[in-house]
């Protein structure tokens, strides 16, 4: 449910800020990567 | 998708897997070239600028096969800027500020405009303003040039040399300078309509979205100002420095990357950090298609990256775009805008036997913390509505994640669910499930991104 997730997100952001001033992770995922050689 | 590197190669990659479709190595043309400017994609062609000493080329590749249709050497140094298209030509800038127009079909030079003096600037890019190309150059001047002929309509010296891409806003252009100013000039005559002192020297390609301009600055400043240049609305300082010189602005979200591999998403309106992610490398180019960000790094790694549960900025970002599919003999097409102003709009049409069967107009609106609401209105050909004026078919979002959104219609007589999902192969499926007096029904629509 979106509203619940948003509340969790807001809470985790507050906790993260309080703990060390960093922001919530996107918790993302690399689907693939490619090396162009520079 | 297309990725070009500083090591001289251009790649066409499968968007979903990263598999190489074709590749071109500029070492075949002498010195290994670098790619700094945005290409023009048109009529089956990818026209892309490159720079190398003493001569770089502008290339036109067949999009599908990678075959070189033409390549034009440009001196001195090739083209370091983005290309802009006007009619059947493209215009770019050399590192010394010479503007060059090339024929889109043949690559032949149509005209060029020399700067007053040759001062190298990396980060000057032209923009199209109606029938004119506007740009700043290292000689300290902003010019408006007739795109058809190369005739200089006006040329204005600023207090300091132009340092960013020109951004066109209706009949004005916005451009930043090395002394930390941002100018708003009239396209017609080059008159200064406004000037704003910024907290840092602007660089790169600013992005205009709605009434806001997003700029990357030196010294780690990301800056958002109003388009009329009345004031700085918010800034964000990144200790590692911003290395993506063209911030991505989609919907209400600004995405930018740092030298330290940090990717940030901001709320465009307030500057609030929505999420952060750490990757490896100096983040440079940022693109996005559906829910996937494509992130290039200076070290050469290209990432296809998807935000996860932590991204609550726009849970339906992957829906945006133009989708097309078949339903039996019928052609179906659905288009969704990005989220902007808290809302998203969409259209649908079904075509059978060469004629439109019906249309839909849709919105997904959100108010406060309430779940987003999907409203659908149907129309026959002739735009004759099915629903009464104030009525529409209303669904509520009950579940959403990075690849799926479930909407439900809370009608106890006929509960209906509408599920949008993005498959692993990048297809959009829309499933309509109904409970009716005649039992449950299940309709599936499949689309591919155009």
Q: What is the pLDDT of residues B326-375, one digit of tens each?
A: 988 899 999 999 888 778 999 999 999 999 999 999 999 987 777 889 99
Q: What pLDDT digit, counting tens, does each position of B263-273 carry? A: 999 999 889 88
Contact yes or no for A32 and B304 at CB 8 A: yes
- What is the percent of chain B with per-residue pLDDT over 70, rounded to a whole number? 99
Residue A15 CB contacts under 8 Å (≥ 6 apart), including other chains = none
- Banded model confidence at residue B313, pLDDT cuts 50, 70, 90: low
Residue B71 phi, psi dihedral angles, 5° rounding: -140, 135
For residue B384, pLDDT over 70 is answered with: yes
Contact yes or no for A25 and B310 at CB 8 A: yes
For residue B160, pLDDT over 50 is answered with: yes
The rounded distance, in Å, linking the Cα atoms of A5 and B372 is 13
B150 close contact with A: CB closer than 8 A: no
Q: What is the pLDDT of residue B312?
A: 64
* pTM of the model as a whole: 0.76
DSSP β-bridge partners for residue B27: none
The rounded distance, in Å, linking the Cα atoms of B58 and B82 is 11
Asked if omega into B218 is within 30° of 0 (cis), the reply is no
Q: What pLDDT digit, counting tens, does each position of B129-143 carry? A: 999 999 999 999 999
Q: What is the pLDDT of residue A38?
A: 73
Q: What pLDDT digit, counting tens, does each position of A1-38 carry? A: 444 544 544 544 444 444 444 567 888 899 999 998 87
The residue among B357, B365, B301, B303 whose CA lies nearest residue B332 is B357
User: Distance (Å) from the C-alpha of residue A9 to the closest C-alpha of chain B?
Assistant: 7
In chain B, residues 381-400 whose CB comes closer than 8 Å to chain A: 397-400
The rounded distance, in Å, linking the Cα atoms of B339 and B318 is 11
Closest alpha carbon within chain A to B369 = A3
DSSP per position, B321-355: EEEEEEETTEEEEEEEPPPBTTEEEEEEEEEETTE
Tokens 């493209």 — which residue? B90
Give the tokens for residue B19.
Answer: 């598999």
């Amino acid at each position: 449910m979106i509203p619940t997730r948003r509340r969790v997100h807001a809470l985790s952001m507050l906790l993260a800020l309080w703990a060390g001033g960093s922001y919530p992770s996107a918790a993302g995922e690399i689907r693939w990567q490619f090396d162009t050689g520079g | 998708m297309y990725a070009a590197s500083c090591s001289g190669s251009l790649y066409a990659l499968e968007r979903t897997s990263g598999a190489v479709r074709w590749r071109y190595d500029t070492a075949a043309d002498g010195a290994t070239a670098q790619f700094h400017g945005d290409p023009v994609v048109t009529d089956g062609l990818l026209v892309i600028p490159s720079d190398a000493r003493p001569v770089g080329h502008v290339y036109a590749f067949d999009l599908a096969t990678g075959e070189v249709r033409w390549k034009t050497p440009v001196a001195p140094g090739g083209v370091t800027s983005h290309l802009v298209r006007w009619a059947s030509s493209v215009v770019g800038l050399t590192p010394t500020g010479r503007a060059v127009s090339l024929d889109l079909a043949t690559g032949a030079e149509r005209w060029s405009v020399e700067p007053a003096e040759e001062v190298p600037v990396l980060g000057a890019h032209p923009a199209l303003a109606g029938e004119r190309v506007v740009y700043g150059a290292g000689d300290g001047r902003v010019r408006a040039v007739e795109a058809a002929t190369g005739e200089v309509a006006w040329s204005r010296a600023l207090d300091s040399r132009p340092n960013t891409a020109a951004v066109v806003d209706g009949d004005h252009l916005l451009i930043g300078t090395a002394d930390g100013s941002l100018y708003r000039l009239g396209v017609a005559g080059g008159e200064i309509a406004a000037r704003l002192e910024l907290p840092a020297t602007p660089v790169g390609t600013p992005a205009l979205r709605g009434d806001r301009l997003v700029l990357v600055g030196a010294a780690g400043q990301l800056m958002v100002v109003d388009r009329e240049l009345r004031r700085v609305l918010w800034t964000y300082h990144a200790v590692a420095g911003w290395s993506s010189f063209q911030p991505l602005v989609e919907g209400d979200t600004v995405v930018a990357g740092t030298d330290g591999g940090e990717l940030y998403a901001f709320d465009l309106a307030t500057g609030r950090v929505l999420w952060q992610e750490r990757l490896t490398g100096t983040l440079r180019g940022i693109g996005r298609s559906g829910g996937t960000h494509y992130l290039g790094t200076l070290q050469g790694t290209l990432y296809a990256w998807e935000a996860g549960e932590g991204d609550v900025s726009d849970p339906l970002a992957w829906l945006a775009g133009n989708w097309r599919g078949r339903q039996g003999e019928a052609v179906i097409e659905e288009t969704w805008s990005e989220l902007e102003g808290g809302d998203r709009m969409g259209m649908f049409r079904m075509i059978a036997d060469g004629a439109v069967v019906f249309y839909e107009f849709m919105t997904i609106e959100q108010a406060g913390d309430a779940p987003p609401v999907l409203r659908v209105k149907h129309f026959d050909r002739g735009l004759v509505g099915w629903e009464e004026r104030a009525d529409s078919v209303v669904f509520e979002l009950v579940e959403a994640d990075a690849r799926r959104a479930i909407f439900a219609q809370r009608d106890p007589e006929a509960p209906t669910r509408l599920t949008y999902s993005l498959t692993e192969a990048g297809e959009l499926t829309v499933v309509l499930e109904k409970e009716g007096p005649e039992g449950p029904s299940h309709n599936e629509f499949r689309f591919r991104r155009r």
